[in-house]
Structure 1
Amino acid sequence: MSTTAPPVRHAQTRITLLVALAVFAQESTWNFYDAQVPPLLREHITSAALVGFLMGMDNLLGVFVQPWLGNRSDGTRTSWGRRMPYLVVGMPVAALLFLVIPHAAASLPLLVGVMFCYALVANAFKPIAESLVPDFVAPEKRSRANAAVKIASSLTVIVAALISLLVVDEHPALAFAIPSALMLVSILVLGLTVRDSRSPGYQAALAEDAADAAGAAQDGRDAADAAPARPGVRRVVLDIVRDPDRSRLLMMIAILLFGSAWSASRALATPYGMEALGLSRGDAGGLLLPSGVAFLLAAYPTALLAERIGRLRTMMIGMSLFAAAMALGTVAQTPAGTVVAFCVGAAGAAAFLVNAVVVLWNLAPSARVMGTYAGLYAVGWAGGGFVGPALVGGMVDLTGWTLMLVDVAVVAVLGVLAVARVEALQRRADTAKAV
């Protein structure tokens, strides 16, 4: 036992760092895209609504593309594995399309076309890279691995801001080339060092394929009539909805609810600062900056806490802390009090963001659907990003801006109740197994 554990730990640490590198490169392009593509659109479009619609196109595409491509990768069988073939093709194509964006800015139709192609390709491989975590990392260590990935993703906000600050004004085309180069370097490193055909998850999927084929042969059926190696997205979703246990369905609801609360707290922070705190637009826009540091500091400790007391319990504590911070921010309704509330809330939210997808992975019934579940998590979170600001905005219309943080807290509490129900169901299932 002692002779094999260190190599296994080393392999899991290595793949965690490599996946974090790939996600860092991907998110660098996405954050820079969000920061610098709107000014390119504004050169042709005066309507803020139309600019917002075009910038939201990537989220809409992701809802359809991410679970489908994650599902496709689940069923892929090659000597290189099931994830890497998509990454070594998709990431260089996305890097090339991203590089072309500033050169296409002279023509609105061309710019929109390149934006669409980039969003389509980049969304396609986004859940596939993250699926390498459950493929390689044991269930009990996935929270700390996902924490490293989330930290890498969060750091890209700083990278995108630095590129915007130091390069964009003087060399706009070069500014787009830097995130593209990061993506190319990351996939080169990943392609040269990772063969996910050797991962425990891939080997488990092959074993399930072989068991299905053996069962078909024993029953006198052709191997082709065995259960498919890649259950379709529709079949996976129906399995979640029809499962009497409801744990997976409730987790998806919790992801949607807390994603709504988190997204609303970010999207509406600037108008809240202006309307409720009387700040200027610039000062209100800076309210969230310290909370990004708080999230980075809290991400890894929440993963370690989850390993000690359980992921669901850690998530409930973090979500409750987020909701309490929002409520207390209303009591201490000053710029300083609001910054503290956002920092404490971000630290609490880290407990959810680090552990939620891990819980979903660990609830998956088979190693053959990890990519699909990564895509479904992305859909739930993106759905919260779409629903949350509109929902809380509607509540603000009724309650006023001074109670906006309380409105966010109410939505977060609903998410806490959903996770609490999952925890109760899992505790009941564990008790039944023990009996």
Structure 2
Amino acid sequence: MVFDENNQLPLNYFKIFNLGLGFMVVSMIWAAYNAYMPIFLGNFTKSNTLIGFVMSWDNIANLFILPVFGALSDNTRTSIGRRMPYILIGMPVAGILYAMLPLQTKLWALLIVDLMFNIVVASYRTPLVALMPDIVEEQHRSKANGVINFMGGLGALIIFFIGSQLYKLNKAYPFFLSGILSIIVPVILFLTIKEPKSFVIEERKEKQSIIKALITVVRDEDRAPFYTLLSIFMMIAGFAAVETFFTRYCKIALGIDESVSSFTMGFYALAFLIFALPAGFIASKIGKRKTMMIGAFGQAILFLIFMVVKDFRIIQILMPFAGIFNALFTINSYPLVVSYTSSEKIGTYTGLYYFFSSLAAIVTPSTFGAIMDYIGVNKLFLAASISVFISFVFLWLIGKRGEKPEIL
């Protein structure tokens, strides 16, 4: 394979598919974890507070560990690349710890294994994500990210449909499946994906630091990276609020059983999966920022409609559009963030992306829960719509400052 002048490879769908296998495994891991881990914890404790706290460990780990390992992988120089050492070591170890979760017979043992798992899985996630822009040219990253997100969605569906049947046979089987794949897939990645050689032999010009990068982004006169990160924060906050409280809202405000409203959210997930690939191709035609703006604006309008609609059937009909609008935004958000930096700092900017994403996921439940408590349950969609519209405004401000059209 011949490198271009930027030491990057042209789009290779075979490599992207193999990389997508890694994201498929990660998605399988979290789908089963979120579905069954509360049940495992409930076998030892009746404290919802403790269960909720333990289930937040992943977001806390994402907030602190992902950015650090993103910057660390930027500074890593080995004969097999910058990202691959973390993937080859972290992914199998995390898979083994993950497979051990359903086998624990004591609460303290389950908590220790879970804590170790959350730390290790966070250590390889940023290098895995940063590997995509390392091997894909800028103009192809949205399409590549569409493929990767499609594979991630496929992993969730595997757990929902196949994993649920395995769980009926033995509660450990879904965890064994993901654990085994966590050992096999890194080998596939190592054999099929070679990182650009320039990163292997290149001397470190300047050590990357996540703190330094954050300060630089905040203080930089070019506000585009900071506004983009704020846009991502507001979008995730708005949609995560709806995702968190949708079933509760439907039960209290509309009198809809939680099983029905939960099933309705499946239409969103399916639409997101189907539209993951088109979202990337649309961005390659009109630009990442404009595509994200369409997604944010459409989502804001949709939430306003949800607020005033009292017929649940209309919400069911419109729910797939939520998946489509979210795909337009989400598929292109990470490629837009890393487009602002050089190849040497991709891991660091990947860490910034996850820092803002994780922070939004952490503050959303309590903040929007308070809004529902003190202002009214029916204000959920209004607050979410305002949050998403602010996300749109930040993207609009980037255009007003005349940023580079080829990356927007």
**TM-score of the superposition, structure 1-length normalised?**
0.88
Q: Which residue of 2 aligns with 1:422?
A: 398
> SS of 2:80's equivalent?
coil
- Choose from 341, 345, 362 the match for 2:339: 362
SS in 1 for 2:401: helix
Q: Could you say what secondary structure the match of 1:268 adopts?
A: helix
Retained in 2: the 8 A contact 1:82–1:197? no
Distance across 1 between alignment mates of 2:9 and 2:137: 10
User: Deviation digits for residues 305-335 of structure 1, max 9, x if unmatched?
Assistant: 1111111111111110111111112233222
Show the counterpart of 2:240: 263
Q: Does residue 333 of structure 2 align to residue 348 of structure 1?
A: no
Following TM superposition, by how much is the alpha carbon of 1:164 offset from its aligned partner in structure 2, in angstroms? 4.2
Q: What code does the residue aligned with 1:369 have?
A: K
**Is the contact between residue 304 and residue 385 of structure 2 (CA under 8 Å) also seen in structure 1?**
yes
Q: Max radius of gyration: which structure?
A: 1
Deviation at 1:340, TM superposition (A): 2.8
Aligned-partner residue type, residue 372 of structure 1? T
Conserved in 1, the CA contact under 8 Å of 2:371 and 2:379?
A: no
Q: Which has the higher contact order (CA 8 A, sep 6+)?
A: 2
Where 1:287 maps in the other structure, the secondary structure is helix
- Compute the displacement of 1:243 (Å): 0.4
Superposition map of 1:38-77 within 5 A? 38-77=38-77
Residues 39-96 of structure 1, C-alpha deviation per residue, up to 9 Å, x if partnerless?
1100111011210110111110111110111111101111111011111111110111
Alignment of 1:395-414 (within 5 A): 395-414=371-390
Instruction: Look up the SS of the partner of 1:172 in the other structure.
Output: coil
Q: Aligned-residue CA RMSD in angstroms?
A: 2.2
**Structure 1 alignment gaps of length 5 or more:** 211-226
The answer for the alignment partner of 2:302 in structure 1 is: 325
Q: Match of 1:169, SS? A: helix
Pairing 1:379–2:378 present: no
**2:96 maps to which residue?**
96
CA contact (8 A) 2:95 2:180 kept: yes
Partner Cα distance (2:90, 2:23) in 1 = 13
Match of 1:82, as an amino acid? R
In the aligned structure 2, how far is the partner of 1:101 from the partner of 1:383? 26
Superimposed CA distance per residue, residues 247-271 of structure 1 (whole angstroms, 9 cap, x where no aligned partner) = 1111111111111011111111110
Alignment of structure 1 residues 164-175 onto 2, 5 Å: 164-175=163-174
1:331-363, CA deviations, whole angstroms, 9 ceiling, x for partnerless residues? 332221122333212211111101111111001
Q: In the alignment, which residue of structure 1 is the partner of 2:106?
A: 107
Partner SS for 1:196: coil
1: CA distance, partners of 2:402 / 2:288: 12
Runs of 4+ in 1 over 3 A off after TM superposition: 8-11
Equivalent position of 2:368 in the other structure = 392
SS at match of 1:87: helix
Q: What TM-score comes out, normalization by structure 2 length?
A: 0.93
Residue segments in structure 2 that go unaligned for 5+ positions in a row: none
Amino acid in structure 1 at the alignment position of 2:132: V
Task: Give the Å deviation of 1:155.
Answer: 2.0
What letter corresponds to residue 278 of structure 1 in structure 2? G
Matched AA of 2:142: S
- Find the aligned partners of 1:245 and 1:275 in 2 and give their Cα distance: 45
My pick for the range that moved more, 296-305 or 39-48, is 296-305
Kindly indicate whether the alpha-carbon contact (under 8 Å) linking 1:62 and 1:124 is maintained by their aligned counterparts in 2. Answer: no
SS at structure 1 position matched to 2:54: helix
Aligned residues, how many?
A: 402
1:84 aligns with 2:84: yes
Which deviates more from structure 2 when the two are superposed, residues 326-335 or residues 137-146? 326-335
